[in-house]
Structure 1
Amino acid sequence: MPPRLGLGPVRALLIVNPNATSTTPAGRDLLAHALSSRVRLTVAHTTHRGHAAELAQQACVDGMGLIIVHGGDGTVNEVVNGLLGTPEPKSMSAVTVGPIPPIAVVPGGSANVFARSLGIAPDPVDATNQLIDLLARRQRRRIGLAHCDNRWFTFNAGLGWDAQVCEAVDMHRKNGRPATPAQYVRAAVRVFFRSKYAEPTLTVEVPDRDPVEGVHYAFVSNASPWTYLNKREVHTNPDTTYDTGLGVFAMRSTAILTTLRVARQLLTPGTRPKAKKLVRVDDVPCVRITASEPIGLQMDGDYIGLRKVVEFVSVPEALDVVAPARP
């Protein structure tokens, strides 16, 4: 039996990103009205980058019993970082001051990987009804997170190809155009062919294994799937979950046939990707990746910037979430 939220009406803060891809005024009103029947609700809309983190931090100080996020993965990431604060370098435990309220998510972005990986319905109306039911049953679970570069991430991070794709999509958003699965695919193809002939720059190190050199790009997962293309799940490390260590997926080739073969495996349910030039490791406590020259880093789908050395650390049982029981 999963842990239960405390008895009686809970003080809850609903953090809404009004600019998220799939949020609408009508949907936000429906969500707030429905939740008001279960919790003592306060609603706050984000107005700038980093605002969700500020709101979550203040909610923690104010003793809120629950934080509900209506937005995409970037908003969720901000809330988590606002609640947990800056992670301790190399620490495999969450260092917090005072009680941390659980979070619940109603998807409002373009991919919503975190919510969907927890078993939350992708449609905001369906997710609202699901959340009402979960709150009525006072159901939650505790999940592991990960951190790198002085920041927490929930489901994945990466150096190289995927970071460049996230950078391209971020620029697309800044130009006023919404992010869509098709936009991610187009960006992925453009970035791949633009960098196909570049020399590999990465070295990947995990405990108790020899370093792997000559890596073109590397993904580090805290959960599976790694992402979604509409309803299709993309699995780099199928055995990685919120209850295990990290999964590592590192490619030592950009040959077209090898890339296409691995891509097909990523999209095939039940398949564990494998190739001669693919290094894939599951359930590791930490990963260190170094680059011979600065390379892009992304976390939870947000482009962070160029880095030469990044250490990824798994932190078990770091956060309570309102979600269905473990699969």
Structure 2
Amino acid sequence: MHALLIVNPNATSTTPAGRDLLAHALSSRVKLTVAHTTHRGHAADLAAQARTDGIGLIIVHGGDGTVNEVVNGLLGDPCPRSMRSVPAGAVPLVAVVPGGSANVFARSLGMAADPVDATNQLIDLLALRRRRTVGLGHCDNRWFTFNAGMGLDAQVCEAVDHGRSNGKLVTPGRYVRHAVRAFFRAKREDPTLRIELPGQEPIEGVHYAFVSNTTPWTYLNKREVHTNPGTSFDTGLGLFAMRTMRVFPSLRVVRQLLTAGLSPRSRSLIRFDDLPQIRIQSSTPIGLQMDGDYLGLRSDVTFTAAADALTVVAPPTN
């Protein structure tokens, strides 16, 4: 099989030695070509060209942003009209060796967080021909692999992206600090969001909303954060939204999110799993993020679940 290894050399946990080890190990299993990204959007261009060239496998060594670019480069931007399978055509298989700070998509697939361990794991998976199909989310003419959101998390992603552009290292601690600052900045603001779900009355008075394509929603180092434990790559989308910014109700929900085995509950919490579609409108433009990438201000976004959209090299589900 001819494979393309797409490497983001600027990702948080990639190193020259690790990249060389990965390429050397993979060369024993596949006919490998290596490409390094040089600018934003480059991974998407490389992936699109790989599909045109008939490459059978794309291996991504980078963070969640690089993975997102590859997926969008492979699948393009047409919005799925239903939960039915997206026609795959000659879309290459996708495999991920973590190279970023959180690596949510790879870890949610069951890949090891350490790049060396994940490399050895991938070699075994290729030898055993392990593959599975996963669902994706779609909104704003883009695909997302694990989560999206409007409001609070988008503000955090915007701040982290700004720090990254100024050379600051991306760490879980930096995300937490930005989240606390964003919460207290937004605490006195009126809710602006209105949510529409299939077959239900619109939900008004919402401050922020997270949309999940799998669980966990994210990781803080080794700690999993589950907003929608019933959501997976094999279901529809999960919704987690809050109708309050008061400190104590918010702290109770945060404690539940960080406690293993607890399912978040609150009178102010709106939570659904397995939704085919979610429409979120805002009375004033509000931030949108997908897979940790801040995309700008939006007033009306529809999130759609697409089943069996991508075939990946990954361990089987338990």
Same fold, TM exceeding 0.5? Answer: yes
What TM-score, normalized to structure 2?
0.98
- Could you tell me which residue of structure 2 aligns to residue 309 of structure 1? 300
Q: 1:169 aligns with which of 133, 145, 160?
A: 160
CA drift at 1:269: 1.2
Q: Residues of 1 paired with 2:52 and 2:190: CA distance?
A: 49
1:58 equivalent in alignment to 2:22 = no
The one-letter code of the counterpart of 1:230 is N
CA drift at 1:99: 0.8
Q: 2:20 aligns with which of 16, 29, 35?
A: 29
Does the 8 A contact of 1:84 with 1:94 survive in 2? no
The one-letter code of the counterpart of 2:224 is E
1:132 equivalent in alignment to 2:123 = yes
- Could you tell me which residue of structure 2 aligns to residue 287 of structure 1? 278
What is the 5 A alignment of 1:218-297?
218-297=209-288
User: Alignment partner of 1:183: what SS?
Assistant: helix
Q: Residues of 1 paired with 2:280 and 2:170: CA distance?
A: 29
Does the 8 A contact of 1:66 with 1:104 survive in 2? yes
What TM-score, normalized to structure 1?
0.96
Does the 8 A contact of 1:84 with 1:95 survive in 2? no
User: Alignment partner of 1:37: what SS?
Assistant: coil
CA drift at 1:93: 4.5
CA deviations on 1:75-131 (whole Å, 9 max, x unpaired) are: 000000000001226444465574101100000000000000001000000000000
Count the aligned residue pairs: 318
User: Alignment partner of 1:210: what SS?
Assistant: coil
The one-letter code of the counterpart of 1:33 is H
Q: 2:133 aligns with which of 139, 142, 163?
A: 142
* Structure 1 runs not aligned, ≥5 long: 1-9
1:179 equivalent in alignment to 2:170 = yes
- Could you tell me which residue of structure 2 aligns to residue 204 of structure 1? 195
The one-letter code of the counterpart of 1:286 is Q
Q: 1:69 aligns with which of 60, 72, 75?
A: 60
Q: Residues of 2 paired with 1:38 and 1:259: CA distance?
A: 49
Q: Residues of 2 paired with 1:87 and 1:285: CA distance?
A: 17
CA drift at 1:66: 0.3
Q: Residues of 2 paired with 1:161 and 1:275: CA distance?
A: 18
- Could you tell me which residue of structure 2 aligns to residue 43 of structure 1? 34
Does the 8 A contact of 1:205 with 1:212 survive in 2? yes
Runs of 4+ aligned residues of structure 1 deviating over 4 Å after TM superposition are 93-97
Does the 8 A contact of 1:87 with 1:152 survive in 2? no
Percent of aligned positions that are identical:
71
The one-letter code of the counterpart of 1:301 is G
Q: Residues of 2 paired with 1:90 and 1:184: CA distance?
A: 34
Q: Residues of 1 paired with 2:149 and 2:60: CA distance?
A: 24
Does the 8 A contact of 1:84 with 1:96 survive in 2? no
CA drift at 1:211: 1.1
* Structure 2 runs not aligned, ≥5 long: none
User: Alignment partner of 2:55: what SS?
Assistant: coil
Does the 8 A contact of 1:87 with 1:94 survive in 2? no
The one-letter code of the counterpart of 2:257 is L
Q: Residues of 1 paired with 2:82 and 2:12: CA distance?
A: 35
